[in-house]
């Protein structure tokens, strides 16, 4: 029990007593103690349930703001922003490269004005916000910090996460812009700025989710995520940062897929392995070795056929995340294989988390499956295979030198998985088992053409109202910092406050650094 908290009686629904933890509660590796196999906090969900952070991004900032406020009214406890592809790739909505893509897979954010609309009627010191953004993470974080300054919110009160994990873009996802070394320099700039200016902010969310979604196995997800994490830690150390200044704010992002017990074991193995790696390689303190992570249910597991089956899949995956000790969770809408989730499916996804938290009983004790022969064996085996992969990556010179290796391993795993589905040896209900000739439901889509036209018109009106001389001066300061190897966050924040856009900042960095050639 955490210090200062009064003991309370916890029972099953039938009135049987439930202990805080089973097994040797004070033994090494018990919940809240290094290497955190059984959880990062002594009480786990008895003290506080995971953050329910539903991911949302719908075309325009105004639409997304409406969804955010709806989800907050339904009991969501954190916000998570999905951005459209032009925003992720550093293009303004009126760029030629953005044509036809504005607002399609998330919200279009070109400027501070868009960020202001995105959080209209939402105080930034009253919410925790996660932003899934990588190559342009510095710019989106700058918009958020600038908006907080506008609202009069102390930077020390801002809380949330920016993904800022560019290595996995080269490996698995593809929304990279700049060459590897300057991209990693930008990651380090964000880590350094956050540790100094916004201490409650998680400056990076090292993502296994997209690695798993690209087709990796569970051990590959752990290994490749940690290879990237070790590279970021090494780069931050090389930039002069003390491990204790930033390691406590490192966070991770994992997928939860259908193999319930393998997923639980994966989360347990990941906690133990990360703690051991930081301790052995960087002599980090126990507190800095805690693996804290967000989980999202598996988008790639959703089927367009018989989409209501996805309700069950999402429930199993969310249960795995809870049994595995996640710190926050997003549950997918059952219709996301067809389109952006409807309001009703988003509410059902949130209710799924709330029912698990409130009615299933899994929150009553820490690490409920600890001690299971099967789960413990799986935990050990996932860790063993992950270590073998890390040794191969180390031999290649680390994650930044092993991109091709990790890509190929993921491609091979994805190919084997798909061949198994097509051969029928891997059952997928509604697809190759219990299939029905009912066709795939159609879900109405927004008028993306009109949405894009409206976004472009607003952007051009904002540009016309700016002081062009000040814009040029601020962009010049960003260029100078990029060339001089100074921290880029302060000049980017000052630039966005004068109306400089995401695409304009991305362009001066392209001019300074070039682009990545795959």
Q: Is 149 exposed, middle or buried (0-12, 13-18, 19+ CB in 10 A)?
A: middle
pLDDT averaged over every residue in the chain: 93
Give the gyration radius of the chain's Cα atoms. Answer: 23
Q: How confident is the model over 54-102, as pLDDT tens digits?
A: 776 667 899 889 988 988 888 877 888 989 999 999 999 999 999 999 9
In angstroms, the Cα distances linking 65 to 59, 92, 120, 122 are: 11, 20, 7, 9
Q: What is the pTM of this model?
A: 0.90
In angstroms, the Cα distances linking 359 to 47, 50, 317, 320 are: 16, 15, 16, 15
Cβ atoms of residues 102 and 93 within 8 Å: yes
Whole-angstrom Cα distance, residue 372 to residue 105?
Answer: 41
Task: Kindly give the parts of the chain with pLDDT less than 70.
Answer: 1-8, 25-27, 56-58, 443-444
pLDDT at res. 24 = 73
Cβ atoms of residues 514 and 179 within 8 Å: yes
pLDDT at res. 56 = 67
pLDDT at res. 458 = 96
Q: What is the DSSP track for 271-316? A: HHHHHHHHHHHH---TGGG---EEEEE-GGG--SSSTTHHHHHHHH
Whole-angstrom Cα distance, residue 511 to residue 479?
Answer: 9
Q: What is the three-class DSSP state of 84?
A: coil
Cβ atoms of residues 195 and 245 within 8 Å: yes
pLDDT at res. 339 = 78
Whole-angstrom Cα distance, residue 407 to residue 410?
Answer: 5
Whole-angstrom Cα distance, residue 79 to residue 190?
Answer: 20
Whole-angstrom Cα distance, residue 188 to residue 184?
Answer: 6
Total Cβ atoms within 10 A of residue 97? 13
**DSSP state, residue 83:** B
pLDDT at res. 6 = 56
pLDDT at res. 4 = 47
Query: Cα 206 from chain centroid?
Result: 7
Contacts made by residues 440-444, CB under 8 angstroms, sequence distance 24+: 440/304, 440/305, 440/338, 441/304, 441/307, 441/338, 442/338, 443/335, 443/338, 443/339, 443/342, 444/339
Strand arrangement of the beta sheet that strand 201-202 belongs to: 201-202, 159-162, 128-132, 78-82, 51-56, 328-330, 293-297, 250-256, 204-207
Q: How many helices (H) and strands (E) does the chain have?
A: 18, 9
Cβ atoms of residues 271 and 264 within 8 Å: no
Q: Which H/E stretch holds residue 80?
A: strand 78-82
**DSSP state, residue 59:** B
Cβ atoms of residues 133 and 87 within 8 Å: yes
β-bridge mates for residue 131, sequence order: 81, 162
In angstroms, the Cα distances linking 463 to 306, 460, 498, 504 are: 47, 5, 10, 11
pLDDT at res. 1 = 41
Cβ atoms of residues 91 and 506 within 8 Å: yes
């Amino acid at each position: 029990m955490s210090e200062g908290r009064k003991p309370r009686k916890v029972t099953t629904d039938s009135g049987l007593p439930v202990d805080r933890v089973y097994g040797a509660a004070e033994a090494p590796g018990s919940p809240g103690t290094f290497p955190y196999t059984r959880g990062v906090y002594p009480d786990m969900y008895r003290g506080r349930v995971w953050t329910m952070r539903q991911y949302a991004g719908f075309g325009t900032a105004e639409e997304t703001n409406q969804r955010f406020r709806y989800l907050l009214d339904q009991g969501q406890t954190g916000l998570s922003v999905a951005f459209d592809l032009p925003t992720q790739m550093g293009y303004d909505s009126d760029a030629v490269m953005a044509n036809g893509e504005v607002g399609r897979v998330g919200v279009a954010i070109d400027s501070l004005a868009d960020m202001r609309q995105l959080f209209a009627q939402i105080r930034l010191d009253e919410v925790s916000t996660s932003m899934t953004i990588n190559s342009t993470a510095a710019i989106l974080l700058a918009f958020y910090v600038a908006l907080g300054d506008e609202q009069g919110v102390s930077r020390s009160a801002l809380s949330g996460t920016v993904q800022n994990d560019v290595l996995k873009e080269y490996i698995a996802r593809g929304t990279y812009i700049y060459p590897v070394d300057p991209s990693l320099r930008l990651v380090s700039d964000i880590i350094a700025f956050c540790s100094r200016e916004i201490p409650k902010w998680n400056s990076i969310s090292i993502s296994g989710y997209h690695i798993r979604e690209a087709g990796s196995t569970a051990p590959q997800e752990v290994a490749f995520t940690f290879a990237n994490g070790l590279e970021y830690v090494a780069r931050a150390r090389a930039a002069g940062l003390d491990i204790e200044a930033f390691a406590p704010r490192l966070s991770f992002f994992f997928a939860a897929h259908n193999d319930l017990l393998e997923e639980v074991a994966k989360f347990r193995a990941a906690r133990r392995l990360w703690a051991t790696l930081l301790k052995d390689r960087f002599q980090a303190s126990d507190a800095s070795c805690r693996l804290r992570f967000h989980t999202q249910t598996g988008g790639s597991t959703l089927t367009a056929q018989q989409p209501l089956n996805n309700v069950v899949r999402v429930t199993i995956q969310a249960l795995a995340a809870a049994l595995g000790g996640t710190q926050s969770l997003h549950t997918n809408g059952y219709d996301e294989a067809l389109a952006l989730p409807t309001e009703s499916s988003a509410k059902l996804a949130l209710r799924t988390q709330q029912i698990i938290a409130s009615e299933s009983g899994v929150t009553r004790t820490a690490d409920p499956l600890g001690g299971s022969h099967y789960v413990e064996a799986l935990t050990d085996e996932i860790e063993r295979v992950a270590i073998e992969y890390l040794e191969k990556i180390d031999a290649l010179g680390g994650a930044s030198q092993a991109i091709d290796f990790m890509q190929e391993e993921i491609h091979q795993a994805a190919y084997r998985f798909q061949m198994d589905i097509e051969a029928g040896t891997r059952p997928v209900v509604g697809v190759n088992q219990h299939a029905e000739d009912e066709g795939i439901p159609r879900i109405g889509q927004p008028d993306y053409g009109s949405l894009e036209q409206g976004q472009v018109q607003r952007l051009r009106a904002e540009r016309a109202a700016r002081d062009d001389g000040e814009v040029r001066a601020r962009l010049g300061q960003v260029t100078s910092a990029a060339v001089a190897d100074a921290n880029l966050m302060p000049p980017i924040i000052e630039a966005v406050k004068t109306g400089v856009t995401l695409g304009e900042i991305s362009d001066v960095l392209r001019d300074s650094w070039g682009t990545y050639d795959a």
